[in-house]
Structure formats: C-alpha cells, structure tokens
C-alpha cells in the first residue's frame, strides 16, 4: 500500500490552506517595499478593529511563548504581585516565566479537565492587590476553555489588576473581544486558529495596558518592548527588527478568510464542529477529557475507551500511518489519550478523513468498533453545515 498523506491534526500547527501557502511562497521583498508596508499596515489595522481593541496591536516575529513574555514585560515589573490562573501545562508556563522576572507569584490551579472559576478569581483579588492576572483561554494540555468573559467581569471590579489572556489556542476560533471582556493584553500566534505556519506573535494591548507600559519607564527587555515596536506598527516602513515578510502576507490572507466567513460565524462554526467531533468520538467509546461547561471549541483531548487495551504510543503511531498526526497528552493526562486540533480553516474533507483514520487505527489496535460508526455521526452533523 502506498503511504497515506498525513493530516496535521495536532493542536497547532493546523492545516494551512492553499491560498495562505501561496502567500508564504511569494518572492520575498525588502521590508521597506511600499506594497508590503501597505499590506503590513492593513494587517495591524484589521486585527485591532476585529478584536475591538482601544489600544495598540502588535505583530512581531516569534512564537506564542514570546507573546506571553511580551505581555509580562510591558505590564509588570520586578517585585509586582501576579495571579496566575492555571488549568494545566500552558497555564503553568507563566509560573516560571514570572518567577524569573522577579514577580511575586500566586497560583490558582484547577484540576486537570476543569477550570479556574470567576468565583476563585474574585476571592483572590478581594484578599490581596495584584498588578496583573493571567488566564489561558484554551488550555492545550486539557482541552479546557476558561470562562474569560465571566472572569473579565470580576476583573472590572479590580481595576488595579490588568487582565492578561493567553489566546494561543483560541484566537480566531473562540470568541474574544477586548472591550466587552475587559482584556488588557491578549496574545496569540499564527499557527493555531489563524491557520498560518508558525512564526508570528500577535498581541493586542488595551489603552490601560499602554498606560501601564508608559508608567514603567525603561524596561529591561528590548526585542519585546512595546515602545520599540509601536513606531513600526504605526508605520511599517520604520525598522526595529526585520518583519517576517512572507508570514505577514500569509496572515493578511488568513484575515481575509476570517472576514469573508465573519468572526461571529467562525466562532459558531468552531462550536458546532467541536460538538460534532466529540459526538463522533463518543460513538466509538472515547471520552472527552474536559468537563462539559469548559469544553474548548478549538481542540479536544480524547481519552481511550476503557477496557479497549489501546496502547497510547502505538495507537498514535498507527493513526499517523493511517493519515492523521495527533499529539500525545501531557502531565496528568499522559498516556491516557490523545490531543486533536479542530480549529482554523479546517474543512469537511479533513474532518471526515481524520475521523476515518481514527476508526482504522482503532481496529488495527484491536479496539473492536463498527467501521463508519464515528464517521456516520460526524456526517450527520456535517450535512447540516
Ligand atoms: N499557550 C498555549 C495555550 C499553547 O497552546 C502554546 C503552544 N501549544 C503556547 C502558549 C506556546 O506557544 P508556542 O509553542 O508557539 O511558543
């Protein structure tokens, strides 16, 4: 049998559609090129408007982790207290980062599969003053979506604390609005629900966040300093660090696709697809790891069916051979299931093929299922799309 093409079903990078790939394949121009400068400007203006940001928007070469550091660098200073709301591996990533920066760290942790709640945040903020709070919108290790709007309501009652949201596994797939949700710094990157290759960090900073940056004066960090990038974001013919030209073009195409679909419909589609994929997987005995009110629309962690005898590493290896590359679980969930992305510009072909590959991998691993069962459930949902 010839090799089957591997679909990238990990929770990012996600499948990159042809029109976005084409932008990455263009001949690279000088960063001062007038047409590129115009394109870059439009990207920044569009992102700012679409996420309803009253401050500034930054597009900088880097990954999601850099976005996390950029938010902290421009909002907090050594000695500040910070509250980290962690629902798993990526929430925890803020802990070391903040400690290295000399922040006084307090952590609210949820059980894996659950989320820190607005009540927990309220209690913490009422007992002590914090200069910032971090929340991971979609925790990629558990498939949990934090209630960022409800936490935002709590934050509004404690204006001394700025609200930092890690939107890496959510932005462009799950609803986020800077204004109504009261977010001060939202960071994300290109390779998840934007459906672009890895390499760009996007960060929205509210007017309040920009005021906090101004109040900090000179900061130790250089590459991620808002002050260094602001002139470039206002006029991309200016220079601070060389922009990732082809990725900026790719992002522009990604934004065009988002505008064509409409953000509200895009968010709703993600909800429908997540529910459809979960039903399909449940039909063949898998369990969604995230508790129901907190299930993410962009990615899922699926636990292997009890008593199936499926061996994790072997299953994912066979699944990859069958045509779907998924990711192993992390931390407390390691070995119990796999992580699968269903976000961005993912289409019906890809979803059906991925679930079909999962069915074949089940059978090949000795988990007796009726072939077509999960695909059938998925098809019932997709036919309504
Ligand atoms: N936050 C979350 C929620 C993530 O899922 C990831 C990456 N999977 C990161 C941060 C780090 O992003 P990157 O790997 O692009 O640095």
Question: Which two structure tokens, joined as six digits, stand for 78?
Answer: 């050594």
CA–CA separation, 354 and 346 (whole Å): 11
Q: Name every residue whose Cβ is closer than 8 Å to that of residue 112 and which is 6 or more positions away in sequence.
A: 87, 88, 141, 142, 289, 331, 332, 333
Rounded average pLDDT over 219-228: 98
* CA torsion through residues 179, 180, 184, 186, sign: negative
- Whether the predicted pLDDT of 1 surpasses 90: no
What token pair was written down for 95? 């802990």
Q: What whole-number distance in Å separates Cα of residue 135 and Cα of residue 133?
A: 7
Percent of the chain residues past pLDDT 70, beyond the cut? 100
pLDDT of residue 288: 98
Q: Cβ distance 342 to 335 under 8 Å?
A: no
Mutate to test the pocket of ligand 1, among 64, 202, 328 (most ligand atoms within 8 A of CB): 64
Residue of 88, 91, 189, 327 to mutate, ligand 1, most atoms within 8 A of C-beta: 189
Q: Tell me the backbone φ, ψ of residue 27, rounded to 5 degrees.
A: -65, 125
Ligand 1 atom showing the smallest separation from residue 191 Cα = 15
| pLDDT for 50 | 98
| CA-CA-CA-CA torsion sign (42, 43, 48, 52) | positive
Query: Cβ distance 273 to 351 under 8 Å?
Result: yes
Q: Is the pLDDT of residue 8 over 90?
A: yes
pLDDT mean across residues, the chain: 98
User: What atom of ligand 1 comes closest to residue 170's alpha carbon?
Assistant: 3
CA dist 62 → 2, 220, 243 (Å): 37, 18, 10
**pLDDT digit string, tens, across residues 340-380:** 999 999 999 999 999 999 999 999 999 999 999 999 999 99
Provide mean pLDDT across the span 307-333.
Answer: 97
| Minimum-distance ligand 1 atom for the alpha carbon of 137 | 3
CA-based Rg of the chain, rounded to a whole angstrom? 21
- Mutate which of 140, 197, 343 for ligand 1 pocket (most atoms within 8 A of beta carbon): 140
Give residue 229 CA to ligand 1 midpoint distance, Å.
22
Task: Reply yes or no on whether the pLDDT at 206 is more than 90.
Answer: yes
- The CA 65 to ligand 1 mean position distance, Å, reads 6
Portion of the chain with pLDDT greater than 90, in percent: 99
Residue 114: pLDDT above 90? yes
CA proximity to 355, closest of 282, 270, 303, 271: 282
CB contact at 8 A, 202 and 188: yes
The whole-angstrom separation of Cα 137 and Cα 189 is: 13
pLDDT tens digits, one per residue of 163-180: 999 999 999 999 999 999
Per-residue pLDDT tens over the stretch 117-152: 999 999 999 999 999 999 999 999 999 999 999 999
Nearest CA residue ID for atom 9, ligand 1: 64
pLDDT at res. 31: 95
* Assigned token pair, 240: 């601070």
Helix (H), strand (E), coil (C) string for the chain: CCCCCCEECCCCCCCCCHHHHHHHCCCCCCCCCHHHHHHHHHHHHHHHHHCCCCCEEEEEECCHHHHHHHHHHHHCCCCCEEEEEECCHHHHHHHHHHHHCCCEEEEEECCCCCCCCHHHHHHHHHHCCCCEEEEECEECCCCEECCHHHHHHHHHCCCCCEEEEECCCCCCCCCCCHHHHCCCEEEEECCCCCCCCCCEEEEEECHHHHHHHHHHCCCCCCCCCHHHHHHHHHCCCCCCCCCCHHHHHHHHHHHHHHHHHCHHHHHHHHHHHHHHHHHHHHHCCCEECCCHHHECCCEEEEECCCCCCCCHHHHHHHHHHHCEECEECCHHHCCCEEEEECCCCCCHHHHHHHHHHHHHHHHHCCCCCCCCHHHHHHHHHHCCC
End-to-end CA distance of the chain: 33
Cα(64) to centroid(ligand 1), Å: 5
Contact 350, 323 (CB under 8 A): no
Residue ranges around ligand 1 (CB below 6 Å): 12, 63-65, 90, 136, 140, 166, 168-169, 189
- CA-closest residue to ligand 1 atom 5: 140
């Amino acid at each position: 049998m010839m090799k089957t093409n591997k679909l990238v079903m990990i929770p990012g990078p996600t499948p990159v559609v042809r029109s976005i790939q084409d932008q990455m394949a263009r001949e690279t121009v000088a960063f001062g090129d007038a047409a590129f400068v115009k394109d870059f400007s439009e990207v920044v203006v569009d992102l700012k408007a679409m996420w309803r940001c009253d401050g500034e928007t930054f597009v900088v070469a880097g990954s999601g982790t850099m976005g996390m550091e950029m938010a902290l660098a421009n909002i907090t200073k050594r000695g500040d207290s910070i509250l980290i709301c962690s629902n798993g591996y990526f929430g925890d990533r803020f802990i070391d980062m903040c400690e290295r920066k000399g922040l006084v760290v307090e952590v609210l942790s949820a059980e894996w599969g659950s989320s820190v709640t607005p009540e927990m945040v309220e209690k913490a903020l009422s007992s002590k003053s914090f200069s910032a709070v971090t929340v991971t919108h979609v925790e990629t290790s558990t498939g949990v979506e934090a209630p960022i709007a409800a936490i935002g309501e709590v934050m509004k009652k404690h204006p001394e604390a700025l609200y930092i949201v890690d939107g890496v596994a959510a932005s462009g797939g799950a609803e986020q609005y800077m204004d109504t949700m009261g977010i001060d710094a939202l960071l994300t990157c290109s390779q998840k629900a934007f459906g672009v290759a890895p390499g760009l960090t996007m960060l929205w900073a509210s007017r309040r966040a920009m005021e906090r940056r101004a109040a900090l004066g000179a900061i130790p960090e250089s590459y991620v300093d808002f002050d260094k990038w602001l002139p470039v974001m206002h006029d991309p013919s200016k220079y601070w660090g060389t922009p990732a030209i082809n990725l900026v073009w790719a992002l522009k195409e990604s934004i065009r696709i988002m505008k064509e679909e409409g953000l509200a419909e895009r968010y709703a589609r993600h909800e429908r697809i997540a529910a459809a994929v979960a039903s399909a997987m449940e039909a063949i005995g898998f369990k969604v790891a995230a508790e129901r009110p907190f299930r993410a629309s962009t990615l899922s962690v699926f636990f292997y069916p009890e008593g199936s005898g499926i061996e994790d590493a072997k299953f994912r290896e066979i699944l990859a051979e069958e045509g779907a590359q998924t990711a192993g679980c992390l931390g407390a969930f390691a070995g119990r299931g796999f992580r699968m992305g269903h976000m961005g510009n993912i289409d019906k072909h890809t979803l059906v093929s991925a679930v079909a590959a999962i069915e074949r991998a089940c059978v090949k691993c000795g988990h007796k299922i009726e072939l077509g069962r999960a695909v059938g459930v998925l098809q019932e949902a997709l036919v309504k799309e």
